Amino acid sequence: MRRGGWISAITFVLIGTFLAAGAGAQTIGWPPPPKFEDFPATEQWSGKSAAVKLTSRSETMFRTRLTEASLEKPNFAGHYRFAFWGCGSNCAAGAIVDLETGT
């Protein structure tokens, strides 16, 4: 067997082992992971959104999406807006905008 074949076989076995271990974790009584619904926001903010403050080059690259997100209602922890976008296939990005402060 070629060297690449051995590496593929070993990788396949390791992935299978980890998947089996993960599936077994649910059957041995471990608690399920927490959900967002388990931790509701204590206060709902309803003020006017602050203008978005873009301070870094990476923020200015996504100016349009961040500005659009700041105009929407909060969807995370009372006064934050979680925005996400993609660029086609498996590419995805996101950011959280504080609607109170614009950061």
CA-to-CA distance for 80 and 38, rounded, in angstroms? 18
At 17, list the tokens.
């082992």
Judge whether residue 23 has pLDDT over 60: no
Give the tokens for residue 50: 């602050």
What is the sign, positive or negative, of the torsion defined by CA atoms of 19, 23, 24, 26?
A: positive
Q: What does the pLDDT read at residue 75?
A: 86
Q: Which residue has the higher pLDDT, 61 or 3?
A: 61
Q: Is residue 17 part of a domain?
A: yes
* Rounded Cα gap, residues 37 and 50, in angstroms: 27
Query: Is residue 38 situated within a structural domain?
Result: no
Q: Are residues 57 and 92 in the same domain?
A: yes
Domain assignment present for 90 = yes
Which tops the pLDDT comparison, 15 or 55?
55
**Are 26 and 49 found together in one domain?**
no
- Structure confidence by residue, pLDDT tens digits, 60-86: 999 999 999 999 998 888 899 999 888
pLDDT at 70: 92
Does this model's pTM top 0.85?
A: no
Query: Structural domain tally of the chain?
Result: 2
Q: What are the tokens at 48? A: 């006017």
